Structures are given as C-alpha cells and as structure tokens.
Amino acid sequence: MDKKEIAKVLEEIADLLELKGENPFKVRAYRTASRSLLNFEGNFKKLVEEEKLDELEGVGEHIAEKITELFETGKLAYYEKLKKSTPPGMLQMIQVHGLGPKKVKALHKKKIRSIEELKTAAEKGKVAKIRGFGKKSAQNILDSLAHREAYQKRTLWWDAMTIAEPILEGLKKLKGVQKAEIAGSLRRKLETVGDLDFLVAASNPKPIMKWFTSLPGIQRVLASGETKSSVKLEGGIQADLRVVKESEFGYALCYFTGSKEHNIKLRDRALSCGWSLSEYGLAGARKTKKAATEEDLYKILGFSYIEPELREDRGELQAAEKKKLPHLIEVKDIRGTLHNHTTSSDGKSTLREMAAAAKKMGWEYLGISDHSKSSFQANGMDEKRLLAQVEEIRKLNASKSLGIYLFSGLECDILADGKLDFPKKILDHLDYVIGSVHASLTQNEKAMTRRIIKAVENPSLTILGHLTGRLLLRREPSRVDAQKVIDACIANNKIIELNGHPLRLDMDWRLWHKASEKGLLCCINTDAHHADNHQFILSGVNAARKGWLEKSQVINTVSLKEMQKLLKSRKN
DNA sequence: GCCGTTTTCGGCCCGACTGTTTTCAGTCG
C-alpha cells in the first residue's frame, strides 16, 4: 500500500473510533498521523524500511507499527476488526454535513443504518421524531444528502478566486466596513480550496451579516450569527464570513488564514512567552504588546513577517526566527514566458495575437512552443510546419513590428521510450526545447522515471515540461520518482518548468524549496492556449512563492539579452 | 495514541452556532 492509501486507512480508523465513542484525543492522534503522512515528501519506502516512521510528527510507536503492517502486507488486522464491529452505513452517514458520531449512533439505534435508509426516514418524518433531532435537522439532512457530492468537492484556486473577488469588493463597499480581506487557504494560494473565507472589521456586524447571507446565488444558509455566517453558494462551495472589531483584525486575519499547523506553532510560541494567542488577541501580554497588524504580531512573537503563501508549517517559522526567509518572487519580476501555443497546434490564438497580448503584459519576450507531431490529438506539427514557424518567427523578429521578441521553441513529446519526437538536426533549428510527456501516462514509476531521465540526458532538451501531467481534481499525477528526476536535471544542467496553468501547477510547489536549494532552476510558464491565458502567470507565481522561490531561481525573470545568452549557452 | 527545558503521567484549542430542550449537547472549523 502506498502513502496515500495508508493515510486514508488511518483517517477511516479515526472515523471508526469516533463512532465507537473512543477517547477523542486518540481519534485526533490518528487524524494527525494521517495528515503528517500526506505531508511527508521524502522517500517513504526508505522511511518504513529503516524504521524511522516515528520521526514523523504525530506518529509514535503504535501507529508506526500499523503503518508498517499496511505498507508490507496491504492489510491491518486492527482495522479489519474495527470495520467488522461497525456497520458500513455508519461510516457513510458520518460524512453527511451536520451528522457527527453521536447523531449517527442515535440514528443507528433507531435502525437507520445506511444513507438510503436515512433519506427515506427523513422524508417520512421518522428522523424528526428521534430524540435530539427535529424538523429542521431532518430537512438539513435532506439538503445535505441532495448536494452531497457538490458539497464535498474542492475548487481550483483560480475558479474560487473569480467567485471570491466580487464578494470581497462588495464587502469593502458596505457602510461601516473598516477592513475586509480574504483569508484561509484562498489567501495562502493553495492550488485547490475547500471553502471561501472572508474577514471583516466593523463595529456593527448585523447589516454586514445580512448582506452576506442574502447574496445572490446562495443555495443555503448554514449558519448566521452575531459574528459568524456560513453559506453554500450555487455549485456547492461554502463561504464563511467572520466579523471582528478593528482592534482584533490583525490577530483574526492571522488566525483565519492558517494553516492550522502554522497556527498551532504560533500559539506554542505565545505560550512559551507566557501569553495566550487567539483570534481576538494576545492575552497576558503587556499593554505595549498590543498588535494591530499581522506584521506586528509576528514581530512580537520574535519572527519576521511570514507571507501567507509560506504558512504551511514547512520550516517557515524556524526560518523567520533566524531572519532567513526567502525574498519571494513577484509577478512583476517576470519578463516573459516560454511555454505557449498558437493556432499552429492546438492554441486558439494566432502567433501575432499571442505576441500582442504578451506585450500588453509588459513582457520583453515570448517563447512559442507548439506541440510536436506525436501529439496528434493536439494537432502537433510535423517537421515542415515546425520549420515554417521558425522562419515566420525569424522574419517577425527582423521586422521589429511586434514590439516584443519571440523565441522559437517547441513542446516536444517525450515518447514512451524516452526519445524525443524529433531528431537533433531538426531541434537544432530552435532556440530551446521543452520536453513533455503526453502519452503512455500510466507507465509504472520505474519506467516513467527512466523515460524522463533519458529525455533529460538528451542534449537537445532545455526544459522539462509539466513533470507529472496531473490535472488538478481531474487526473492523477503520473507515477514518477521526482527526486531522481530533479537530481538528473541538476546533473545535466536542465531547467524544470513550473507550469502555472491553474489546472496543472506542475511540478508541485512542495518539491521546489528543496530542489532549488540543491541548485535546480525554474521556468514559470502559463501553458497558454489563448492570448488571455497569459494571466495564468499569477497562479504560476503563486505556486512558486509557495515553493519558497526567489527571483534569482526563476530564469524568466532575466532581461531579453540575458535570456538570449542563457538559451544559447544551454544549446551547446 | 502522542508527547515531554515539568522524562512516564496528565494534558491534548476552543469559541461560535444550531436546534433542540428548557439549560445545553453536538457539530464545525
């Protein structure tokens, strides 16, 4: 069993224990261990084999044993036994919003033992008669069941932002609103988010709550109180609003931005200073220690300011303590991108349209990299069309009519055996070559790793495109030993792309910090298939920031002259 | 079940909101 599957089993054990009425801290221990496992980036196999699982936070002797058993045999006696003693329907029912272990048990006692039985019972008014339930509970259960799938799914950061921004603007315009911000994972720029969090500073929350809970497009109001409201928007995404006093805003913003793990560490620090940190302030601190902003709060606790993107408990607090946080790259540092498609393959905009839009972005150059012939589904170019495009770009550059310099590139297929789609003599005509995997995505890890490394060792390749081919929320990443590929790229002087398309964000930000420390260089691209797609540079830079990247580690922050030099030197 | 500048037991975040009940348990984040 792999890491992900094992984490899922641990999570399920937590649910099962909860249903049994076990000690809540024991339940939490399993959840913590599960999350810790998912967050681990290193070589999991090695960790298990060298019996170093207990080095993971929240994994002790007992859970380590269970993980090992699952890893080695794919089974766990303890888990099987637990499952046997709990009807499967109860596990499903605990997933329903509003139903926890106690309520599921109460339902079970009344012989309601599956989602289907729950639905029927709620419709027939049976649920409303159970002690602890009522008419409203029954209706809420029916609502939750009707939208079960939509309520559970996550949303791409990009899509969530297009929903959140108008709401934020609306909040800012309301009378009495002193401050308004987006918080939560949306503010941390996580690639997908579960809900939208808003925070407002105002002395009178009532009219703000009223505005929020009567927004157009609200499917259901989940909660609406003095300081906190939750709604479900059309499409199923949840939006939460908290209103605090202006003096509390900095604390509250930090608290609601998270991550949870980051906050726990922050509270630890406060405790060790003899204070108690909450969303409302720093209790016990002397009056002079009253923080007004997040910057002040971090300073009081002995840290330099930590950008929201870094608040994932991945070493940022240790670095902030030593004043060694990176100076994160910004969108304005970008001078052009190198992975762009045109109507020559599967793009929707012409070469000139792509160039004009890039100029509008304020960029100095744009690399054109249409698909190669094997990407038949994407109208990949054959040799003749490719060379014609190279000629067209050469002429456009010579005429200086575009106001922006174009590089001739190619997104060249890495074939199943690791060979590139064109021979060297063709690729030699280009300024650079991006190698990407588009077919045979389901190869096993060994074959895929060997395939990609073979391409990386090919002197014609400049940049490795979207490492895993994942499509967030749609397609799983292909199995590849990322560490080995990173090492091969460094050894062969190759760049890895951070594909900034909101669906991809590949290579994953979690791998960049360590990789860049080893010396790997990054190219942030948009994989634009339309002139409007240059905007995706924002999501690419977000991911780079989450990966601790600085300007100097990203090649497409250099000037045109330097880029020409860089690409030329890498061709030899 | 985990963890420990209080080394092996005792603590582990806690406040907001709902819906029920009749003063608060359950759920959520």
* Nearest nucleic acid nucleotide to A230, CA to C1' distance: B17
Nearest protein residue to nucleotide B5 (CA to C1' distance) is A272
* Residue A273 approaches strand B within 7 Å at CB: no
Residue A48 contacts by C-beta under 8 Å, 6 or more apart in sequence?
A67, A68, A71, A72
pLDDT attached to residue A366: 98
Arithmetic mean of pLDDT, A348-373: 97
Confidence class for position A150, pLDDT limits 50, 70, 90: confident
User: What 8-state DSSP symbol labels residue A238?
Assistant: E
Q: What is this structure's pTM?
A: 0.91
Whose CA is closest to A242, among A258, A259, A230, A260? A230
CB within 7 A of strand B (chain A, 395-434)? none
| Block residue for tokens 């994942």 | A470
* Residue A54 approaches strand B within 7 Å at CB: yes
**What is the spatial distance, in angstroms and rounded to an integer, between the CA atom of A553 and the C1' atom of B1?**
42
pLDDT attached to residue A414: 97
* Candidates 3.40.50.300, 3.40.1350.10, 3.20.20.140, 1.10.287.3240; CATH matching A331-569: 3.20.20.140
Question: Which CATH code is given to the segment(s) A249-321?
Answer: 3.30.210.10
| Burial class for A481, CB neighbours closer than 10 Å (0-12, 13-18, 19+) | middle
Instruction: Indicate the length of chain A as a whole number.
Output: 572
**What is the spatial distance, in angstroms and rounded to an integer, between the CA atom of A535 and the C1' atom of B19?**
46
* Residue A59 approaches strand B within 7 Å at CB: yes
Least confident residue range of A104-113, A118-127, A273-282, A391-400 = A273-282
* Nearest nucleic acid nucleotide to A209, CA to C1' distance: B17
**What is the spatial distance, in angstroms and rounded to an integer, between the CA atom of A137 and the C1' atom of B4?**
43
* Residue A100 approaches strand B within 7 Å at CB: yes
Whose CA is closest to A137, among A114, A107, A95, A111? A107
Arithmetic mean of pLDDT, A328-338: 98
Q: Does domain A155-244 have CATH number 3.40.50.1470?
A: no
pLDDT attached to residue A289: 55
User: What 8-state DSSP symbol labels residue A325?
Assistant: -
CA-CA-CA-CA torsion sign (A127, A128, A134, A135)? positive
* Nearest nucleic acid nucleotide to A223, CA to C1' distance: B17
* Residue A102 approaches strand B within 7 Å at CB: yes
Question: Which CATH code is given to the segment(s) A3-151?
Answer: 1.10.150.110
User: What 8-state DSSP symbol labels residue A410?
Assistant: -
**Strands annotated E in A417-472:** 434-436, 463-464
Residue A370 contacts by C-beta under 8 Å, 6 or more apart in sequence?
A341, A342, A344, A345, A346, A347, A380, A381, A386, A389, A410, A411
What gap in Å lies between CA A113 and CA A88, rounded to an integer? Answer: 8
Q: Are A106 and A130 in contact (CB under 8 A)?
A: yes
Nearest protein residue to nucleotide B25 (CA to C1' distance) is A132
pLDDT attached to residue A270: 84
Confidence class for position A268, pLDDT limits 50, 70, 90: confident
CB within 7 A of strand B (chain A, 355-394)? none
* Residue A278 approaches strand B within 7 Å at CB: yes
Bases of chain B within 7 A of a CB of the protein: 1-3, 11-21, 25-29
Residue A568, both tokens? 């030329």
pLDDT reading at A572 higher than 70: no
| Burial class for A323, CB neighbours closer than 10 Å (0-12, 13-18, 19+) | exposed
Q: Are A297 and A263 in contact (CB under 8 A)?
A: no
pLDDT attached to residue A469: 96
* Nearest nucleic acid nucleotide to A56, CA to C1' distance: B2
User: What 8-state DSSP symbol labels residue A20?
Assistant: T
**What is the spatial distance, in angstroms and rounded to an integer, between the CA atom of A510 and the C1' atom of B6?**
37
* Nearest nucleic acid nucleotide to A62, CA to C1' distance: B1
What gap in Å lies between CA A28 and CA A17, rounded to an integer? Answer: 10
**What is the spatial distance, in angstroms and rounded to an integer, between the CA atom of A114 and the C1' atom of B18?**
24
* Nearest nucleic acid nucleotide to A103, CA to C1' distance: B26
CA-CA-CA-CA torsion sign (A154, A157, A158, A163)? positive
Would you list the domain boundaries of chain A? 3-151, 155-244, 249-321, 331-569
pLDDT reading at A551 higher than 90: yes
Arithmetic mean of pLDDT, A173-177: 95
Confidence class for position A288, pLDDT limits 50, 70, 90: very low
Least confident residue range of A229-243, A277-291, A427-441, A502-516 = A277-291
Whose CA is closest to A411, among A376, A391, A437, A387? A437
Arithmetic mean of pLDDT, A244-255: 92
CB within 7 A of strand B (chain A, 121-180)? 128, 131-138, 140
Angle at A29 between CA A259 and CA A196, to 5 degrees: 25
* Residue A528 approaches strand B within 7 Å at CB: no
CA A325 to chain centre: 21
Nearest protein residue to nucleotide B28 (CA to C1' distance) is A98
Nearest protein residue to nucleotide B21 (CA to C1' distance) is A132
What confidence tens digit (pLDDT) does each residue in A5-35 have? Answer: 999 999 999 999 999 888 889 999 999 999 9
**What is the spatial distance, in angstroms and rounded to an integer, between the CA atom of A506 and the C1' atom of B14?**
38
